[in-house]
Structure 1
Amino acid sequence: MATLLLVRHGRTTANASGLLAGRTPGVRLDELGIEQAARAGGRIGTVPLAALVTSPQERCKQTAKAIAVAQRERGHAVTRAVTEKGLAECDYGEWQGRAIKELLREPLWQTVQRQPSAAVFPGGESMVAMQHRAVAAVRRIDAAVTEEHGPGAVWVAVSHGDIIKSVLADALGMHLDLFQRINVDPASVSVVRYAPDRPYVLASNTHDGDLSWLAPKPGRKRRAKAEGAVVGGGAGPGSADH
């Protein structure tokens, strides 16, 4: 079982001005977002990556590039980021490009907050469809990375807030209607491992902290956790069962 790092793009000009960017072309990181992406890249730079995958949106590609730069600076051999349509931003349809303060007055806003499984954006996609294609993409890529690089491999998927929240909700066994309980900030890193028995969410919405404990240990093979979670919580990173 490989380890997946879910990284949200850094802050954008649209985030800062209160607009729902969606798939609008040309939305890029602002000055703070560039700094955030570099900081996330530095944290991830302690871990050699088996794959780097990104949403097609420019802001995610910029964030992925910062991660790739940090990998090269650490001497890791990582290929250029691969674009994956399944990780694209939600198609917000007619909501795209509108101000959040205006959308707050739309009846659909309350559906998105309270029952997102019933939300269908006018001229866009449903939140259920969004989750299905994102989870399918992540699980497909994770299986491929594990098969090619082994269970100790670590890979990164750079995507968007709602996309990452929906993937985390699936990994946690939460209904989509509860996914608004999850927070995913710009340039945050969340960690998921898809084991044979169930997914394990190792971290969520982290901004700081050492990630080197995720790096494969030379000469040590990570054991599959098909036997289930350790009663009592286990010994944690660095122990023999990591």
Structure 2
Amino acid sequence: MVAVMPTVILVRHGRSTANAEKVLAGRLPGVALDETGRDQAGALAARLAGLPPAAVVTSPLQRCRETVQPLLDALPDVPLHIEERISECAYGDWSGRKIAELADEPLWGVVQRYPSAAVFPGEGGESVRAMQARAVDAVREWNARIEESHGPDALYVVCSHGDIIKSIVADALGMHLDLFQRIAVDPCSVTAIRYTPERPFLLRLGDTGSLDSLRPRERPTAAPGDAEVGGGAGAP
């Protein structure tokens, strides 16, 4: 019989003002949820409150903290932990720029087709490999902490960002990082992974409880096959 370990529920933050404006926010301060994002966060709390989670772990960025607040309001006894390692990718000089502009940069093609070689430009710019490594390390360490505190059948919420969650999913599936752009997670979607000593199991991917994200949408990228860096704004 395969031993069970905690289940991590990865939540992408709700739609932000930067998502709505099709801007790559990165770690810029003051990026909040827009009205749609706040509605998404409220609906998410209703979906998750019945589980309930043993803990909530969140990126320190405002849009993630706003996303989990309705859940914490509904479950005031659930502890909140801030985890720097699941913060947004450090996009360097790309931060704050329009996605449509970035699609014309030579690096865009590298990020799309060979992300394991991509390093974002400017002071503090991070490589996609480093982003994945820190995020996966954080989740695996939190698995051990939650198991020790709450037992192997516990589940907990991790609220983070599109590219972070995609990279964690790629690791769980044993996919090379160069394939992670094939994964899509919309704002306020739920992705669940159950870890075991032998292998992780992907239980949900980008689940919003709705089919709206399947509708055709206007894409600001240069080519229809491109993945939107940062994760995109979701369904209109």
TM-score range, shorter chain: 0.7 to 0.9
Instruction: Give the match for residue 145 of structure 1.
Output: 146
Task: Give the C-alpha shift of residue 70 in structure 1.
Answer: 3.0
For 1:68-95, what per-residue CA distance to the aligned partner results, in whole angstroms no more than 9, with x for missing partners? 12334xxxx312x211000000000000
Q: Distance in 1 between matches of 2:75 and 2:19?
A: 27
For 1:79-132, what per-residue CA distance to the aligned partner results, in whole angstroms no more than 9, with x for missing partners? 2x2110000000000000001110000000010000100100002000000000
Task: Give the C-alpha shift of residue 49 in structure 1.
Answer: 1.4
Equivalent pairs counted in the alignment come to 204
Match for 1:90: what amino acid? Answer: C
**Secondary structure in 2 matching 1:56:** coil
Instruction: Give the match for residue 165 of structure 1.
Output: 166
Q: Distance in 2 between matches of 1:185 and 1:69?
A: 23
Q: Is the 8 A contact 1:20 1:96 kept in 2?
A: yes
Q: Is the 8 A contact 1:25 1:58 kept in 2?
A: yes
Task: Give the C-alpha shift of residue 46 in structure 1.
Answer: 0.9
- Percent of aligned pairs sharing the same letter: 57
TM-score (norm 1): 0.83
Match for 2:89: what amino acid? Answer: C
Task: Give the C-alpha shift of residue 200 in structure 1.
Answer: 0.7
Structure 2 residues not aligned, in runs of 5+: 211-236
Q: Distance in 2 between matches of 1:52 and 1:3?
A: 12
Q: Is the 8 A contact 1:43 1:208 kept in 2?
A: no
Instruction: After TM superposition, list the pairs within 5 Å mapping 1:118-137 onto structure 2.
Output: 118-123=117-122, 124-137=125-138
**Secondary structure in 1 matching 2:26:** coil
Structure 1 residues not aligned, in runs of 5+: 210-242
For 1:43-65, what per-residue CA distance to the aligned partner results, in whole angstroms no more than 9, with x for missing partners? 01111211100001100000111
**Secondary structure in 2 matching 1:29:** coil
**Secondary structure in 1 matching 2:23:** coil
Instruction: Give the match for residue 78 of structure 2.
Output: 78
The equivalent position to 2:50 in structure 1, one of 46, 52, 57, is 46
**Secondary structure in 2 matching 1:28:** coil
TM-score (norm 2): 0.85
| RMSD between superposed Cα atoms in Å | 1.0
Instruction: Give the match for residue 94 of structure 1.
Output: 93
For 1:127-182, what per-residue CA distance to the aligned partner results, in whole angstroms no more than 9, with x for missing partners? 00000000000100011101111011110000000000000000011010000110
Instruction: Give the match for residue 117 of structure 1.
Output: 116
Q: Distance in 2 between matches of 1:207 and 1:67?
A: 16
Q: 4+ residue stretches of structure 1 with deviation over 4 A?
A: none
Instruction: Give the match for residue 26 of structure 1.
Output: 30
Compare CA radii of gyration and give the structure with the larger one: 1
